[in-house]
Amino acid sequence: YATTGWLSASAATLLAEFQLHTVATTIGDQAITEIGDGTANERYGVYQATGDNLLYGYVYDGGSLDMNSLVAGAMSVNTTYKGGIALSANSGIAAKNGVLSALDAAFAMPTVTTLAIGATATNASPMAGAIRRVSYLPQRMPNAQLQALTS
């Protein structure tokens, strides 16, 4: 979905309420939601990773993975989760069900144009599951508020 008119270039909070119907250990990474530029070079979002079955918040800028923060606690199939990421330059954190990742303090905000739900903006890493809600806020929510929004 095009983001013209409502997307902030300097800060963002991206949230999703979702269920997985299978885990990434069997099918590969599952992108839950992402905002990107239609390439793999400029994007941010949340995904469930192959191998460890955890939720990650990530940022790619200039083709480089600048943030990849994991949230503790393996995910199970057919369980509802609330996850998200809050970002501004040099300040990013991910959350799942009220648990925060470590703060990442060394990245630039990517240049983005497109919202993707259930896959990446390049239509890769499709999610096998259901998404109940995606929310975007054009500001970086404080850590405590992100924690509350995902509880």
Residue type, 83: G
- Average pLDDT over the chain, rounded to whole? 92
| pLDDT at residue number 24 | 63
| Rounded Cα distance, 95 and 102, in Å | 9
Residues pairing with 12 in the sheet: 87
Tell me the residue ranges of DSSP E strands in 21-90: 30-36, 43-48, 55-61, 64-71, 80-88
Residue 50: which pLDDT band, with cuts at 50, 70 and 90? Answer: confident
| pLDDT at residue number 53 | 85
| Rounded Cα distance, 144 and 141, in Å | 8
Question: Which is more confidently placed, 41 or 26?
Answer: 41
Q: Do residues 59 and 107 make contact, with C-beta atoms less than 8 angstroms apart?
A: yes
CA count, 13 A, side-chain hemisphere, 77: 10
Does the structure show a pLDDT above 80 at 42?
A: yes
10: nearest Cα among 121, 149, 110: 110
pTM: 0.93
Phi (first) and psi of residue 10, to 5 degrees: -110, -15
Residues 6+ apart with CB under 8 A from 92: 57, 59, 67, 69, 85, 86, 103, 104, 105, 107
| pLDDT at residue number 23 | 79
| pLDDT at residue number 28 | 76
